[in-house]
Every structure is written in structure tokens, then in C-alpha cells.
Amino acid sequence: MYVDDNDAVFESIQDETTGTIGNFKFVMDSDSTANTRFLHGTAEKFKIESGGNVVMQAGSRLYLDGGSDTYIQEASADKISNCCWRCNPFRY
């Protein structure tokens, strides 16, 4: 890991001659309230709870196509909708 003027960078270094692939392993405190939080500045964008739940901000989109036009989003409280190019959005 290193920090420059723009980013904190996590970089995997592997031995290219062995054929094995390096992995990232994030180990948190074993406390049942330990969460892995992802922030932009001081604003939490999403977190992974100690129980494995992924929690996103209300109204955020979960993109399924690399960030273009296919996603799942909370439409309003207790309702989700999807959007995809050339298809009719559905709501639950």
C-alpha cells in the first residue's frame, strides 16, 4: 500500500513465474460490530457489515454492466426498480 497526492493504492505483487495469483485479504477486528466502510471524503458510500450484509445509501444504484445503463435502485421506501437499455423497467 502506498499513498500519493490523489489516492491510497493497494497493489498486489505476485511472482509471475509461479503461475499463482495474488489476492487482497481485508481482515477486520473480530468484534461483532466491526464494519468495512467505503467513504468519499467523510461521506460513507457503502459498507460491509461484520455479518456479511452489504449496505448502500438509499437511492444508490447497483450497476450490473460496468456503470452504464443496467442497474438496480431503490425507487422509494421498500420498493426497488431496475433499468436496462431497451427494456421496460420493472418495480417490486
Q: What pLDDT digit, counting tens, does each position of 29-69 carry? A: 666 677 788 888 788 888 888 888 899 988 888 888 888 88
Residue 48 lies in a domain: no
Domain that holds residue 81: 58-92
66 phi/psi in degrees, rounded to 5:
90, 10
Whether the Cβ atoms of residue 54 and residue 35 lie closer than 8 Å to each other: no
Residue 89 is assigned to a structural domain of this protein: yes
37 within domain boundaries: no
State the Cα–Cα distance between residues 73 and 21, nearest whole angstrom. 34
Extract the C-alpha cell encoding 72. 438496480
Instruction: Judge whether 23 lies within some domain.
Output: no
- The CB density around residue 56, as the number of other CB atoms within 10 Å, is 15
Residue 9 inside a domain? The answer is no
- What's the one-letter identity of residue 56? M
Question: Is residue 25 assigned to a domain?
Answer: no
Please tell me whether the overall predicted TM-score, pTM, comes out greater than 0.85 for this model.
no
- Cell numbers for 37: 466502510
Structurally, the chain folds into a number of domains equal to 1
Task: Tell me if 69 is assigned to some domain.
Answer: yes
